[in-house]
Amino acid sequence: MSDRSEIQFTLAHGSPQSMEGRTEREIRVYRFLDQLNIAYERLDHFSMPGDTMDACETLGRLLSVRICKNLFLCNRQQTVFHLLIMPDDKPFHTKDFSKQVGSSRLSFAKEEDMIRLLDLYPGSVSVMGLMNDSPHAVHLSIDEDVLKQTMFGCHPCVNTSSIRFATDDLINVILPAMHVTPQFVKLPQY
């Protein structure tokens, strides 16, 4: 396999022309964005899954966007679930986030809860998974620093493609269409 710096990628506008070889969860994302008339760009990177922050940093540079950390968390009883979107360069400290959302003892949720609620697998967690959360069981929190970026980057529910669209569209069109009201948090940089 070649070095990641040698791999060539092409930025495309909108949905793939052919959906052959794409998963149903990925196709649902493209259909959803297209129905909302969201302008977005797509980067397919089948040979380099974006399943680590290092890979996402490389993909973010190729997309000219910051790919954020997406943390799927739950309380100790596993009855309350949170999706936290935060800048990739901020450290995550449970106590800082827990205090702001009024929940104690948060930890990473189990893979089976991620699959059941968001139809996502580890390494592909994305705000777009909230479109699959029909019971609205997952609370969305977004660090305020994410809103400072003009463009927002994420996976379309698979880690072999990445998309970018206006952060404004995320907040004012996409999330309302999902019936999701985010809570904005301010996590320290320390």
For 12-69, what is each residue's pLDDT tens digit? 899 998 898 899 999 999 999 999 999 999 988 765 655 666 766 777 777 778 778 8
Q: For 2-23, b where at least 16 C-beta lie within 10 A, e where not — what string?
A: eeeeeeebeeeeebeeeeeebb
Domains and CATH numbers, the chain: 9-185 (3.90.960.10)
The Cα–Cα gap between 125 and 128 comes to 8
Q: Residues 104-154: pLDDT tens digits?
A: 789 999 999 999 999 999 888 999 999 999 999 999 999 999 999 999 999
Return the ∠ at Cα 87 (arms to 82 and 91), rounded to 5°.
80
**How far apart are alpha carbons 168 and 55 in whole angstroms?**
25
| Structure tokens belonging to residue 62 | 């190729």
Gap between the Cα atoms of 97 and 1, Å rounded: 40
Q: Supply the pTM of this predicted model.
A: 0.88
